Amino acid sequence: MNQPLLSIIIPVYNNSQSDIVRCFNSIKEQKCDDYEVIIVDDESNESCASFLDKIIGKLNKFKVIHKKNQGVSMARNKGVKEAAGQYIAFIDADDMITQNFFEDVERILKDEQARNVDVIYGFTKYEFKPNNQYEDLSGDLSYTFMDEYHKSLLLGHMIDAKCDFFQHGSLYVNRGPVAKVVKKQLALEVPFDVHLNYGEDVIWNLEILKKAQKIIFAKRHWYVYIENPFSAQHRFTLSKEENYIKNLTYLWPYINDNTLKVKFLCRLLQLITELEKSYYFFNVDCISQKPDITRLVYNHSWSQILKIKYAIHLSKKDFVKYIFLKIKCLDFYFRICKIFRKI
Using DSSP, state whether 57 is helix, strand or coil.
coil
pLDDT reported for residue 164: 95
Contact 56, 127 (CB under 8 A): no
Percent of the chain exceeding pLDDT 90 equals 77
Give the tens place of pLDDT for each residue, 306-329.
999 999 999 999 999 999 999 989
Q: Is the pLDDT of residue 136 over 60?
A: no
The model's confidence at residue 282, banded by pLDDT at 50, 70 and 90, is: confident
The DSSP result for 101-138, as a single string, is: HHHHHHHHHTSGGGTT--EEEEEEEEESS--S-----S
Q: Which residue has the higher pLDDT, 58 or 97?
A: 97
pLDDT reported for residue 8: 98
Using DSSP, state whether 6 is helix, strand or coil.
strand
End-to-end CA distance of the chain: 53
Q: Is the pLDDT of residue 283 over 90?
A: no
Range of weakest confidence among 77-81, 139-143, 219-223: 139-143
Give the tens place of pLDDT for each residue, 69-90.
999 999 999 999 999 999 999 9
Q: What value does the mean pLDDT of the chain take?
A: 92
Q: Is the pLDDT of residue 135 over 90?
A: no
Q: How far apart are CA 86 and CA 7, in angstroms?
A: 7
Torsion of CA 14, 18, 24, 25, to 10 degrees: 180
Q: Is the pLDDT of residue 343 over 70?
A: no
pLDDT reported for residue 130: 65
Q: Is the pLDDT of residue 210 over 90?
A: yes
Mean of the pLDDT values across residues 100-107? Answer: 96
Range of weakest confidence among 97-106, 228-237, 310-319: 228-237
Mean of the pLDDT values across residues 269-297? Answer: 83
**Reduced DSSP (H G I as helix, E B as strand, rest coil) percent helix, strand, coil of the chain, to 5:** 45, 15, 35
Mean of the pLDDT values across residues 41-61? Answer: 94
pLDDT reported for residue 3: 92
Q: How are beta strands 96-97 and 215-226 bridged, if at all?
A: antiparallel
pLDDT reported for residue 339: 80
Contacts of 117 (CB under 8 A, 6+ apart): 108, 109, 183, 214, 215, 216
DSSP lists the bridge partners of residue 168 as: 171
**Residue ranges of the alpha helices (H) in the chain?**
17-28, 46-56, 72-82, 101-109, 148-160, 184-189, 200-211, 240-251, 258-281, 294-297, 308-311, 316-326, 330-340
Q: How far apart are CA 83 and CA 36, in angstroms?
A: 8
Q: How are beta strands 180-183 and 87-90 bridged, if at all?
A: antiparallel
Q: Which residues of 111-126 are buried (b: 16+ CB within 10 A; e: fewer)?
A: eeebeebbbbbbbbbe
